[in-house]
């Protein structure tokens, strides 16, 4: 396995930026396959590098953005519908905390800045979710993304986890989760946020 470099991470940020919002949040098997082919081996290389020493690419804002995308977004594309989608979330969150703590996120303009904050929004932890809400409101300043952050927090406050992950992770649904999935779901949380 080849090592990963800051240049690799900058290339990831450039790829993601060029794909744009129209691709970021859709379920598109072609886009997912492109990510897997071009960048799939980079995830394991980044995991190895982060476990050896936690500061991969964090001295440069573009590389730091690429790291957050690689560790948080790409697994969701490459392993869509599998538990592997969330396997590296703790590493993504730890890196995002360091990056945001160093204010690298503030060096990036535009909608891609939100990908420094998605590791917080993807955590199944109320305290981290509250951080997510604050980051989206104060550092991104985009009401639509802030609503999504509040909706994620509401779900975690209700259930302590994301019920939509239960089947894939082999977790039994509670009655309240079953009702929520059948009757309300994420759309209701978003409308209430």
Q: Quote the pTM value.
A: 0.94
Distance CA 165, CA 83 (A): 8
Distance CA 77, CA 26 (A): 9
What structural domains does the chain harbor? 1-111 (1.20.58.320), 123-193 (1.25.40.10)
Q: Tell me: the pLDDT tens digits for 120-148?
A: 999 999 999 999 999 999 999 889 999 99
188: confidence class by pLDDT, cuts 50, 70, 90 = confident
Whether the per-residue pLDDT at 1 is higher than 80: the answer is no
Mean pLDDT of 155-181: 97
55: confidence class by pLDDT, cuts 50, 70, 90 = confident
Whether the per-residue pLDDT at 51 is higher than 90: the answer is no
> Does the CA dihedral 156-19-144-109 come out positive or negative?
positive
The predicted structure's pLDDT at residue 57? 83
């Amino acid at each position: 396995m080849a090592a990963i470099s800051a240049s690799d991470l900058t290339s990831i940020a450039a790829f993601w930026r060029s794909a744009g919002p129209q691709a970021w949040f859709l379920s598109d098997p072609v886009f997912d396959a492109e990510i897997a082919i071009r960048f799939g081996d980079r995830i394991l290389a980044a995991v190895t590098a982060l476990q050896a020493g936690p500061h991969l690419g964090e001295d440069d804002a573009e590389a730091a953005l690429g790291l957050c995308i690689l560790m948080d977004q790409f697994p969701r594309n490459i392993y869509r519908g599998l538990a592997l989608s969330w396997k590296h979330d703790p590493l993504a969150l730890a890196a995002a905390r360091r990056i945001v703590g160093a204010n690298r996120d503030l060096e990036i303009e535009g909608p891609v800045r939100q990908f420094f904050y998605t590791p917080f929004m993807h955590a199944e932890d109320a305290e981290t979710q509250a951080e997510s809400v604050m980051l989206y409101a104060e550092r991104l300043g985009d009401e639509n993304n802030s609503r999504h952050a509040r909706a994620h927090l509401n779900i975690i406050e209700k259930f302590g986890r994301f019920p939509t992950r239960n089947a894939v992770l082999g977790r039994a649904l509670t009655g309240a989760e079953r009702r929520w999935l059948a009757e309300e779901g994420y759309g209701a949380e978003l409308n209430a946020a």
